[in-house]
């Protein structure tokens, strides 16, 4: 039962990650701003699903704590990086002034 | 294998083509996928001490991407 739940969670996370990667390569050719929409599901949904599946498989312990820490860091840093990259892409496309620091 | 082929492959293609901003998006995507792959590999191989690698990789990737963002923005201060 535990193994089945773990496998389902990891499989779901893998589907999200693979789908986001493939779609970001194939769709929105040339537009980095639109491509960023496909980057966030990897850090906000795919990685937590995979991490949850691995935690269920491992059970309570230090390994699970470390997995939660890694996934948590990835979860928090993903939107920040997407915002920074989005701002850079907007500057490159002329939507935001380059001298605007706010 | 699905993560490496289906996740890392397109991310590397994206990181090697087009303009610098798109390449940086590809690098960030590859970073996230590599972290997930390392988590899975460390649990499958039953070597929990390997988890220190993704734990160190996440903040380094975060800082590195921000550095490249700053460099590409071209702001003069």
Contact (CB<8Å) A74/B75: no
Q: Tell me the average pLDDT of chain A.
A: 85
Q: What are phi and psi of A15, to 5 degrees?
A: -60, -45
Residue A42 and residue B32: Cβ atoms within 8 Å?
yes
Q: How confident is the model at residue A101, as a pLDDT?
A: 52
Contacts of A61 (CB under 8 A, 6+ apart): none
Write b or e for each residue in A3-38: b if 16 or more Cβ atoms lie within 10 A of its Cβ, otherwise e: eeebeebbebbbebbbbbbbebbeebeeebbebbbb
B46: left (phi over 0), alpha (psi -120 to 50) or beta: left
Q: Is the dihedral of CA A56, A42, A24, B24 positive or negative?
A: negative
pLDDT tens for B5-30 read 778 888 888 888 778 888 888 899 99
Query: Within 10 Å of residue B70's Cβ, how many Cβ atoms?
Result: 12
Provide the chain A residues 5-64 that lie in CB contact (below 8 A) with chain B: 10, 13-14, 17-18, 20-22, 24-26, 30, 32, 35-36, 39, 42-43, 46-47, 50-51, 54, 57-58, 62-63
Q: Give the model confidence (pLDDT) of A6-23 as tens digits.
A: 889 999 999 999 998 888
Among the partner-chain residues A17, A24, A35, the one whose CB lies closest to the CB of B36 is: A17
What confidence tens digit (pLDDT) does each residue in A70-86 have? 999 999 999 899 999 88
Q: Tell me whether residue B13 is exposed, middle or buried, using C-beta atoms within 10 angstroms of its C-beta: 0 to 12, 13 to 18, 19 or more.
A: middle
What single string gives the DSSP state of each residue in A54-76?
A: HHHHH-SSHHHHHHHHHHHHHHH
pTM for the full model? Answer: 0.85
**Whole-angstrom Cα distance, residue A70 to residue B36?**
9
């Amino acid at each position: 039962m535990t193994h089945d739940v773990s496998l389902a969670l990891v499989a779901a996370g893998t589907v999200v990650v693979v789908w986001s990667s493939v779609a970001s390569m194939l769709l929105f050719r040339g537009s980095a701003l639109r491509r960023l929409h496909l980057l966030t599901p990897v850090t906000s949904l795919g990685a937590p699903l995979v991490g949850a599946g691995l935690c269920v498989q491992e059970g309570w312990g230090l390994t699970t704590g470390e997995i939660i820490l890694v996934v948590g860091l990835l979860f928090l840093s993903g939107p920040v990086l997407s915002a920074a990259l989005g701002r850079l892409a907007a500057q490159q496309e002329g939507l935001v002034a380059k001298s605007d620091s706010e | 294998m699905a993560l490496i082929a289906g996740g890392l492959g397109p991310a590397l293609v994206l990181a090697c083509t087009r303009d610098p901003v798109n390449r940086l998006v590809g690098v960030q995507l590859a970073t996230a996928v590599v972290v997930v792959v390392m988590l899975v590999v460390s649990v499958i191989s039953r070597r929990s001490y390997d988890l220190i690698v993704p734990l160190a990789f996440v903040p380094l990737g975060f800082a590195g991407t921000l550095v490249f963002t700053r460099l590409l923005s071209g702001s003069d201060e």
